C-alpha cells in the first residue's frame, strides 16, 4: 500500500469526530453503531455516517451477526498507516537536531 496517494485515508481520519469513533473501536475491539453512539456526543445517524467514511477508507470492516451489524478496526490497514506516519514523525525531530547542531556550532565558535 502506498500512503502517499491515499487521500481517502487521511481525510477519513482528519475529522475529530471520526477519530473519536475510531478510538472507541480500537479500545472496544468491535461494536455496533448503537453502542458507539452511547459514548459520543453525537447521534447514531452521525456515527453511521462516520463509520461509512472509515469503511470507505479501509479502516474499518463490518460483518453481520444475526440482526446486528458489528464494526471493527482493520488492524493491518491501520498498522500500515501507523508505520508510514512513524517514518514522517521524525521530520520535526530531524529539523530540531539540525537546529541544535547549528546553534551549538555557532555558540562554540562565538558567532
Give the residues lining the site for other proteins (CB under 8 A). 3-4, 6-7, 10-11, 13-16, 19-20, 22-23, 26-27, 29, 73, 75, 78-79, 81-82, 84-86, 88-93, 95-100, 102-104, 106-107
The CB-of-66 to other proteins minimum distance in angstroms stands at 20
DSSP string covering 59-75:
SEEEEEETTEEEEEE-H
Nearer to other proteins, 26 or 56 (CB): 26
Do the beta carbons of residue 53 and residue 10 sit within 8 Å? Answer: no
The CB-of-83 to other proteins minimum distance in angstroms stands at 9
The CB-of-52 to other proteins minimum distance in angstroms stands at 17
The CB-of-70 to other proteins minimum distance in angstroms stands at 13
Nearer to other proteins, 55 or 74 (CB): 74
Nearer to other proteins, 13 or 37 (CB): 13
3-state secondary structure of 109: coil
DSSP string covering 15-74:
SHHHHHHHHHHHHHSEEEHHHHHTTSSS-HHHHHHHHHHHHHTTSEEEEEETTEEEEEE-
Amino acid at each position: 500500500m502506498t500512503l502517499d496517494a491515499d487521500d481517502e485515508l487521511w481525510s477519513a481520519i482528519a475529522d475529530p469526530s471520526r477519530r473519536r469513533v475510531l478510538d472507541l473501536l480500537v479500545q472496544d475491539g468491535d461494536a455496533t453503531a448503537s453502542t458507539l453512539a452511547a459514548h459520543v456526543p453525537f447521534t447514531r445517524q452521525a456515527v453511521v455516517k462516520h463509520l461509512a467514511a472509515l469503511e470507505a477508507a479501509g479502516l474499518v470492516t463490518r460483518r453481520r451477526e444475526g440482526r446486528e451489524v458489528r464494526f471493527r478496526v482493520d488492524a493491518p490497514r491501520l498498522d500500515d498507516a501507523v508505520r508510514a506516519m512513524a517514518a514522517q514523525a521524525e521530520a520535526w525531530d530531524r529539523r530540531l537536531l539540525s537546529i541544535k547542531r547549528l546553534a551549538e556550532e555557532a555558540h562554540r565558535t562565538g558567532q
